[in-house]
Structure 1
């Protein structure tokens, strides 16, 4: 009886472990725009090591390639089979603690090797979070922050709103996570939380040291805590493996019953994490977030304007209008005439046969300004602050 009990426990443990690792998926192949078109290989001996900018253009899971929206046409032009046109965007993020972190950038810039004597000037005006969301759609695999101290990776999210319930069970990846340095044996934790900070569904604990690499890159490193960011000659010019995992919403236990409670996505860093970006599918969810205004640098003049105050071109006013209104493309000014954009009902939005992303109308049925997001999400009320 005792032997049978142990055997049963052993079987249960195997089943649990198998389910645990099945919930996160390592892409068989990843694609990038390094040298125009780049493809990884499973066998590390066959890696084409990236040495310049490389934005993630796609990844293959189970024979299906998910285009990220960076350059979907490139995958088509290179006859990549079974493409699903998706769109992914890096989460906006910031780091609360810098510690001994390093900024990682490509070894080469425009074909020129970067050394201690010929190193790029990294602006101290960029917060470290910038390197977790730069590149096209924020999906740059060739810039990262290394050796990030243990902390919650703070996504500047006010409300992670409007998870598309039809995407919960569609078997298309919704979250992409990265590890681009030497992984430790510790766990990174990924989860959705509600307004009280409680986990919605289940969290995913990932030990990246057990994940097979999907690619490799040559890096230069700079000390993040110093300004200017000093060149790290001891580590620069060395290669690091690239690891990527993809998750579905259902992997986090998100269901039709609880998805409205998930207002934030959190990554709990192990203390030795090396992150290029963490990204989400814009077809699966809309992201509303808050960021501080940019107050540094030189504000440019606004070169064009429409005014009902008889100031444009008037030497009597002598106030340099509209150039005095800084940082805009167009200045509109009146004390009695409002701006009115196209007004329509919700039903009549269907009459706009070829909407483009960013198009705006005022929906008289829902009494809100609406912006067209994409074909999967459609028109959404613009009523929360968001990142640019």
Structure 2
């Protein structure tokens, strides 16, 4: 027996040893390879990637434990930041050394972790996984995620809804900028930054392109829808260029909410320098609350964009300066954003009404596309400045003479503006309204013309937001000054030589006419004119062309002559030189078709032109320059072993016009490998049972064409190796899964993408996303139906057993709700129905997320009419003893609950209840006069007594005796 026990013990020890050895073999030292975002605020989630994430016991940020964490897989952890400090991210596993990675920054404010724009229709990127697509043109901010909540900007909420984005509706607009000072020296690297393709070309930068040449630093801060264009901005704004934004008012109810109020963009290379934002009083200097500072270098990037950089001339006002030269072509920079609440600035219920301005002191390395504000919380009036290039306020000493006053304006809301002018004849002591008459014209516009100016008179313009007249701003004052004059002259530059241009030339030699007059009274007003008749006749004024420069269009055919009338005080002249611009016709590419093959060989590409003339189409190896490789609608490449981009453009003669070339891709599939850096599934739509989810695909590796994707779904629903069609346009496309019938979370992955040539691409990563199927709406049931008496009544109804949110209640006079349906604005689970006068049916309407609504079962509130006792007939006189009388109730409303008899006519005494619920009663064998009535009850109403009937009982006749 002992030997047997010893054998068992050894077996047990051997088993224990093997278990420990197995555990040691499987449990290995863990590592951290990266984490994102690198900065976060309390409550925000950081994704940690690495190896051997099993049996993890703790996650710390800067020495502070995460408030919670989830080990998603052996290579990924999601951890929620608690209030803490900056430092290393540390992952703890018992029995092993801690794994740490430096560089985490604890943010004092909630961070922006995701942005959505309308680039190529829809662009979604975040700090954890930057979108691999690089925007290269203008695109507007649609939404951003701040503090874990996604807010729409109001630019296109419909698009967000259609894409299945869950968001809080907001209204954000760019702050209109008024930058002080002039542009710095060239060494300051103050550049115009625009999407690389905004000028029509990604390989060259064209400063004379119509989309580039007029972009002033102030204008580009408010371009795009709501001013929220992420594809234009400036870099390295000098610290001397202070910005002040007038604040009209603040909604005090918004001060303590969780919504962001100021959004700041950073679109180039950040540094450790600090931008300072502060609210100040109307004096422009006294601080209200506290200043807020931000160092964009510590903010996690949201994505990357492709851009061109253009330089500005030195020493010119930020309001008027325009780019003149190319600095960089098709380079890349990162996108970052930060946001602040009013409460972050120390604004509260006692000081908010002291605010006059929001003041920005740039760091000297500020790279801004726009600074936006929450229009639901802050009201911004228009920015109004004197238009110095158009204003002529000097008049001649010899007497009254014309003057022209003009203001530059930027709407604070992005909406239209209205104007009114005032004049002061006493140096500004009092003001009176200006109206259009023989002296004034343009009194309700940005430009006031004065036919006879008077020395020392002052003028000012008040500018209103048209939709909200209470939000307004007043311009600086204009003063009419009389001074000596001399002969006036001016010549247009470039001069009289004809300039021949091609229709919509992407990079014209020049499209600007300028004049630099001399003489007069030193200030000048201008009116440019054009003629399509000749150099001397047929001229008409060009509306709004009232500056010393004029940018003429070149988008229509024909010859146009231009001249300018220059007015200075009592003098005027028409330009001595007339510039003629002959715009000649060309052609352009209408569409292109990419093509592909699986391995080395030739590929046939095709294109069509606007004119339909195939011979105009030429093929090139580069976007600009180089010789034609051939002409016609189709082009067969030489044998190629890797994907190659060719370019199609049109060439017309007499004169020679070259169009913008469009890229056409010949794809060799064997050279393409899909990965998370060039292929992603940025989003899917949340659906209801029975519907397929729309899957959004973004790629920079595959050319635009139609593909067949193979995908699978696991989770609440199972779909294995199904196929769907995917058409890519600008690297972006969608496909729809088969119907998903079960509510719950699902994991969708793409296993293969096949092009039209039968070439297969298998994504190694970036090929998946989750699909949520919401539960179908369930109406539930209503309890509390009752019977009430008409008039004053109240019934409480309660909904239970439903799935989804209550959108409304409904009532109807019909049990099937076929007629008489009324909506009730109530989104709670209870409803009080009161003072009903007719039977009414109630139900709740319930909708779960975007699923079709469902109706609850109905509850009935039956309304009884008021009880009416009626009258009893049949009263009679009988002889005492044996007798019988039939009494009948008529005219009653309600049911008979009982009859009553009494020996008193007013039923005050001797009342007896009779168990009879019919409308008739037989009174028998009475020996004394008796009164009868019926008691009637209608539903829930109080009972009513009928009128009474009397059965008079006479004593038996007695003959008596005769004596």
TM-score by length of 2: 0.29
Distance change (3 Å), C-alpha of 1:272 and 1:105: same
Contact 1:51 1:106 in 2 (8 A): yes
Q: C-alpha offsets along residues 200-256 of structure 1, whole Å, 9 cap, x if unaligned?
A: 1111111111000112111101102267624435x3211100110111100111000
Secondary structure of 1:74's counterpart equals helix
Contact 1:97 1:151 in 2 (8 A): no
- What is the aligned counterpart of 2:349 among 247, 256, 262? 256
Q: Is 1:128 the counterpart of 2:217 in the alignment? A: yes
Aligned equivalents of 2:382, 2:300: Cα separation in 1: 33
Q: Is 1:246 the counterpart of 2:339 in the alignment? A: yes
Contact 2:214 2:323 in 1 (8 A): no
Q: C-alpha offsets along residues 14-41 of structure 1, whole Å, 9 cap, x if unaligned?
A: x8967x9644332121011111111113
Aligned equivalents of 1:203, 1:92: Cα separation in 2: 20
- What is the aligned counterpart of 2:276 among 189, 206, 210? 189
Aligned equivalents of 1:125, 1:142: Cα separation in 2: 15
Distance change (3 Å), C-alpha of 1:231 and 1:126: closer
Aligned to 1:140: 229
Contact 2:203 2:329 in 1 (8 A): no
Q: Is 1:80 the counterpart of 2:144 in the alignment? A: no
Contact 2:242 2:360 in 1 (8 A): yes
Contact 1:213 1:243 in 2 (8 A): yes
Deviation at residue 263 of structure 1 after TM alignment: 1.2
Q: C-alpha offsets along residues 48-95 of structure 1, whole Å, 9 cap, x if unaligned?
A: 2111111111101244211101112111111101x1111111111133
- What is the aligned counterpart of 1:68 among 153, 157, 167? 153
Contact 1:122 1:229 in 2 (8 A): no
Secondary structure of 2:242's counterpart equals strand
Secondary structure of 1:40's counterpart equals strand
Q: Is 1:288 the counterpart of 2:381 in the alignment? A: yes
Residues 90-109 of structure 1: matches in 2 within 5 Å?
Answer: 90-95=174-179, 96-99=181-184, 100=188, 101-109=190-198
Distance change (3 Å), C-alpha of 1:24 and 1:71: same
Deviation at residue 292 of structure 1 after TM alignment: 2.0
Aligned equivalents of 2:151, 2:255: Cα separation in 1: 16
More strand, by proportion: 2
Structure exhibiting the larger radius of gyration computed from Cα positions: 2
Q: C-alpha offsets along residues 326-381 of structure 1, whole Å, 9 cap, x if unaligned?
A: 6989xxxxxxxxxxxxxxxxxxxxxxxxxxxxxxxxxxxxxxx99755xxxxxx73
Secondary structure of 1:166's counterpart equals helix
Aligned to 2:254: 167
Deviation at residue 45 of structure 1 after TM alignment: 5.4
Stretch deviating more after TM superposition (120-129 or 95-104)? 120-129
- What is the aligned counterpart of 1:274 among 354, 364, 367? 367
Q: C-alpha offsets along residues 279-321 of structure 1, whole Å, 9 cap, x if unaligned?
A: 1111001112431255768x9xxxxxxxxxxxxxxxxxxxxx9
- What is the aligned counterpart of 1:213 among 301, 326, 340? 301
Secondary structure of 1:212's counterpart equals coil
Distance change (3 Å), C-alpha of 1:230 and 1:44: farther
Aligned to 1:113: 202
Contact 1:27 1:246 in 2 (8 A): yes
Aligned equivalents of 1:88, 1:45: Cα separation in 2: 24
More helix, by proportion: 1
Aligned equivalents of 2:207, 2:272: Cα separation in 1: 35
Secondary structure of 1:237's counterpart equals strand
Moved segments of 4+, more than 6 Å: 15-18, 326-329
Contact 2:310 2:326 in 1 (8 A): yes
Contact 1:104 1:222 in 2 (8 A): yes
Distance change (3 Å), C-alpha of 1:125 and 1:371: closer
Residues 284-363 of structure 1: matches in 2 within 5 Å?
Answer: 284-292=377-385, 294=387
Aligned equivalents of 1:33, 1:250: Cα separation in 2: 31
- What is the aligned counterpart of 1:229 among 323, 331, 334? 323
Alignment RMSD, CA only?
A: 3.4
TM-score by length of 1: 0.68
Aligned equivalents of 1:118, 1:131: Cα separation in 2: 15
Contact 2:215 2:322 in 1 (8 A): no
Q: C-alpha offsets along residues 115-143 of structure 1, whole Å, 9 cap, x if unaligned?
A: 14686246666532111221111111110
Contact 1:156 1:291 in 2 (8 A): no
Distance change (3 Å), C-alpha of 1:102 and 1:383: closer
Distance change (3 Å), C-alpha of 1:114 and 1:90: farther
Matched length: 302
Aligned equivalents of 2:231, 2:465: Cα separation in 1: 36
Considering Cα pairs closer than 8 Å and 6+ residues apart, tell me whether 1 or 2 has the greater RCO.
1
Distance change (3 Å), C-alpha of 1:122 and 1:171: same
Aligned equivalents of 2:136, 2:465: Cα separation in 1: 42
Contact 1:371 1:381 in 2 (8 A): no
Aligned to 1:318: none
Contact 2:275 2:294 in 1 (8 A): yes
